[in-house]
Structure 1
Amino acid sequence: MSKKVIVIGASFPSKKNHAEGVYLYNLMRYFKKTFSLQVCVPRGMFGKGTAGAETDEFEGSVKRPSYFNLGKFQFLRKIALGSYFRSIYSVCDKKADFIYSHFLFPSGYGAYRVSKKLNKPFFVALGESTTSSYETPIGKEILKNAAGLVVVSQKISDFLVANSGVNADKIIVAPNRADSYIFKPLDKIEARKRLGLPVDAKIVIFVGQFIYRKGYDRVLAALELLPERVESIFIGKGEFESTSDKILYKGTVQNKLLVDYYNAADLFVLPTLSEGSCNAIAEAIACGLPILSSDVTEIKEQVFEDSSHLVDPLSPEAIAKGIEHMYANFDNYKELALKNSVKYSLEARANTILNFINTKLK
């Protein structure tokens, strides 16, 4: 009989919103082959939450209890976390064999509290872009008591060992991977036709939140420095005020259309300042795009050296020179990027995590 697992996450797709929590969903499709799953996705009463009926594949196994999410009121955080735990415990399978959580807060906290109540082991997947929560007293307590930690980069692993009192043998490094059934190379011209984009233009794509850390504004500034016209696509959420005539599209798109937008571009550009393991980069690699990103440790770990070019993410001039360099050598970069796209496998990542969990449960 397969082991029962409670999976705790901040979001998960529903029939109403297919894009929420898609990375957790894709991983759980592989977990489902090995374990009996119950997914718990608490919804804040005073904040955003994923509502609606669950997706068909997980029909009946997704619970969405409500809790008091007091959001920005830090002094009430303990009350909110307590409510979060109680909401999970009220609906979770008390006969579960272990708990798996996606990120440290609040999911990892919920997993820790449920594990204590049920006297069962718990695992936490970590991919935060900053490590500040790993150093808090409660963060350290959760990390030390976890049966195992799944981290998306060696940088996070090294930090946990050096600063959070975690033994290295409790950690498995498993970088993010895109679902190759969805994200894969397609014909560029046909993708542009489907999206109504110019078929003969040079186009770069940025995918990420429109925030300073991600660098959308630095990409736009770099495009203005180029001697030759290059068009752009910006996919993401946030405030983005610009009247540039080099922007073909900016805003959100349906998840099912994202693969066409990647394939309509020549290059993926993301001058991010920090990441855990970037989902957008994983998707772009799976689509066979050459990558221009940041010369920082976590990006170096994620990309293929021969099909990427890394620059100072704070310098529009460096970004512009990088774009010029990649277009000057585009055929070579593209050929290598297409070869590297098939090396990315979500199934291999899932099997790595499943083997790690089974080893720890013995």
Structure 2
Amino acid sequence: MIYLCSGCHKTTFEISCPWCSGAQSLDSAAPHLQHMTPLDPSFYPDFQYQSKGFIKDLLGKKKEQAQLNDLLNNVLRKYAQLKQPYFTNFIHTARDTTAGSSEASVPGPRFDGVYSQRELFREVLIRKGFDELEGLPTLLDKLLQTTTFNSVYAGFSRELTKHIKGDLHETLRSWIEEAGTTFRADLALFYFYLWENDISFSSVQFNVDAPSKPGAPLMPLAEFRNGLGLCERIYFDIEVRRFGSQLEHFNPNRFITMYLVDGMDGFEFEAFLVKVFQTIGFDVKETKKTADQGADLFVSRFGKTMVIQAKNYTGSVGNAAVQQAISAKAFYGCDEAMVVTNSYFTKSANELATTAGVRLVDRDALQGYLDDYNQKLIEVFQAEAEE
């Protein structure tokens, strides 16, 4: 089974996150699993029998496991019924899907209550007959993470399909050339896709017990790390080749530099960002220039949509731009929000963005986007020269 770490949000086949080992768990019943959310609800620790000692296991394990199986089947049935539209729409429209400290442990109204969208969502589900949420306080969090994960994986798998080649090395190269450094976080998704679609490579071996045995990794951690090492070698080779190509073909008169960006007005900057995001592989949609509710662009990739605020400034960008991005994300129901500038952000803007989960692209980060944009143009010129 594949697990999502609630701490670093990376995926792994291990029941303890290898990326942030030592993280403390709050689930006393299953301390090693609380930090990890399985993709499949059948693997949630809520539905796994916890040993109570040899004698008690001998006398009561079979009966209790049967009860847990019944509970699981009821939860799976109701989740399947309510996933569309309730769960899926909630993860795309809610501003915050995580549990907060102010939420009541028991659903329902309370004196002077200020209710989060997540609390209201839980009550909607309970009124629809999902009463198991009352007895399992962490179940909703897990189901929301699984729903979010499935949504991301669906977009990932659609993109990965076009990169499958005859051997592993060529498949990884094709994928990494487009995905860039995201391969480091998404490699578990890559292997999971191979396993789920019965795609065989002689150098990749999966654990046949993993689909039915909780805690059994789909592949050994050592083999996974070997795969990550192969990806790093491929990525390094790609970067060397691209840099050599850039040195050979770069012409300052045909490419965009940051100084040219500085000379753009607001509308030119937005139009240029359209070209940048399209060139590096995003689907882009511009907004109307009036009444845009804080949105300048919408970009999408891997099934996720992001709203972008574009700020071509000579001075620092403050809180107002971040607040506009937050409002636009909520108004348009986007998955993410970003503010892009050719300048830098104030300290308070950075703090607000961190709290609200808004991605900030300052002058230094924008230079990275320009490098990718110029590199793509080089590849186009090379392809045209070879024709």
Q: TM-score, normalised by structure 2?
A: 0.21
- Between Structure 1 and Structure 2, which shows a larger proportion of helix residues? 2
Q: TM-score, normalised by structure 1?
A: 0.22
Structure possessing the higher radius of gyration over alpha carbons: 2
